[in-house]
Structure 1
Amino acid sequence: MGTEAVKKLLSTFLKERGLELSEEKTLITHIDDGFDFLGWNFRKHRNQGRRILIIRSSNKSLQSMKASIKETVLVKGKAKGQDELIRELNPKIRGWCNYHKSAMSSRTFCYLDSRLFQTLYRWGLRKHRKKGKRWVKDRYWHQRGSRKWTFCSDKEELFGPMDVKIKHHVKVIGTKNPYIDTEYFHDKQNNRKYERGYIGIRVSLCKSPGNNGLSLA
């Protein structure tokens, strides 16, 4: 089926629900070239002879986040103290990372964590021009748990992008329609009930005295 035919089917599907495609914002492109949508980049890559879909934070979204951090720290935060700076940064970082944690964002979070440190370090050096780098480090970075370099004080602690756990989204089965409750969610609920029941039976049999240590596979 061609792209124009798919577009026509999609337009019909949306029209039935009171929606329509924006011709100005609609783009038809090859999946190998990728496209940006809602802050993510969708693109198929070749991996060991297979073509797999990779969803990452878009470069535009990442650059926007970096610019926001830089403005908060180096432009508006020149005269601010550490605690106030942390209180302003935490909602920005936590919100952005939580939004992107369902994509393949491990490298992105690592990169953002590094750039965040560099920006804050520049802020510390500018704030204390007569002090050395080691002094600035000891003043603003301390060990918290397993992290040796945590930007924190006695009252506040900076939220780190690397602390976010990646949680991939659950794909919708291609033959199901999430817009039809009885078709999709009813089947999903039944599957969960079956899985819980199967696990319960399996555990009971494994613990049974007459089972002789055998378990069901």
Structure 2
Amino acid sequence: MVVILKPKDDADKILKEIQEFLTVRGLKVSEKKTKLVKATDGFDFLGWHFKVQTNGKFRCVPSEDNYKTFRQKVKNIVNCSNYGARVKAMKLAPLVRGWRNYHRYCKMDGSRFTLWRMIHRAFKVFNKEKKLNRYTATELIKKAFPAVSYSENRHINVKCNKSPYDGNMVYWSKRNSKLYDGATSGCLKKQNHSCGHCGLKFMEDERVLLHHIDGNHDNWKPKNLMAVHHSCHQYIHMGKTEKV
């Protein structure tokens, strides 16, 4: 756990308040795993590096360890001699898209996080294949490194008086629906933020899936879509087999 301190904060007082909060819930603070830091010093958490600059502006970027791990995964695929360029592009696309989506609310401008060096290296490897030329290699690069829009600090803030422990399921369900867009967001609003199968509200830590009612995944008409819990989606499809 990381405790962020403002200049006028008393570290011992804050740590005591946190301990009292957790004790009521049967938990306690681990001294070995708890770190007290100033917001202006910066810290790493869940793959991000958080820091409040001297001008008071908040900054968040992918952490150094997270970036190095991601870069190594890309390097392993690009340099693998067992795959052709098309297979490499297919394997890179979900990896790159997932990484960029995870950091979509960070400060991602600059050549480093545009992945220019990785893209340049992958292009040189792809272009060496006999069956490819620079045009086909460029098309594969676009598939391997899909663009994902980002908007710094546009994450959805939790209201100051709300807590996952307050039992306000309606608030957390509505907040969770804002994390989705497109058809999923539309279904959640239409279903009043409830599961279309079981009727229960969606909690913040529950994954929401889109279910195609007629089983046709090419039918994206609003009437054919239903937002359901991940567990409910598995239950709906349980035991279903293809007809021969």
Query: TM tier, shorter chain?
Result: 0.5 to 0.7
Task: Supply the distance in 1 between the matched residues of 2:42 and 2:91 (Cα, whole angstroms).
Answer: 34
Q: CA RMSD in A?
A: 3.3
Residues 1:177 and 1:122: Cα distance change in structure 2 (over 3 Å): same
**Aligned pairs (5 A) from 1:1-217:** 1-47=9-55, 51-74=56-79, 77-101=80-104, 103-107=105-109, 111-124=113-126, 127=129, 136-142=133-139, 151=141, 157-160=143-146, 162-166=147-151, 168-182=154-168, 185=171
TM-score of the aligned structures, taking structure 1 as reference length = 0.63
Residues 1:33 and 1:119: Cα distance change in structure 2 (over 3 Å): same
Task: Supply the distance in 1 between the matched residues of 2:156 and 2:111 (Cα, whole angstroms).
Answer: 21
1:54·1:104 contact (CA, 8 Å) conserved in 2?
yes
Task: Supply the distance in 1 between the matched residues of 2:92 and 2:40 (Cα, whole angstroms).
Answer: 36
Aligned residue-pair number: 167
Amino acid at match of 1:31: A
Amino acid at match of 1:111: F
Write the deviation string for residues 9-34 of structure 1: whole angstroms up to 9, x where unpaired: 11222233343333222211221110
Instruction: Give the structure with the larger helix fraction.
Output: 1
Between 1:173-182 and 1:65-74, the stretch displaced more is: 173-182
TM-score of the aligned structures, taking structure 2 as reference length = 0.57
Secondary structure of residue in 1 paired with 2:51: strand
The Cα of 1:110 is off from its aligned counterpart by: 6.4
Task: Supply the distance in 2 between the matched residues of 1:22 and 1:136 (Cα, whole angstroms).
Answer: 57
Unmatched tracts of structure 2, length 5 or more: 1-8, 176-244
Task: Supply the distance in 1 between the matched residues of 2:19 and 2:103 (Cα, whole angstroms).
Answer: 28
What percent identity do the matched residue pairs reach?
25
Write the deviation string for residues 122-174 of structure 1: whole angstroms up to 9, x where unpaired: 3235556xx9xxx84223113xxxxxxx625xxxx3242x3334372111222
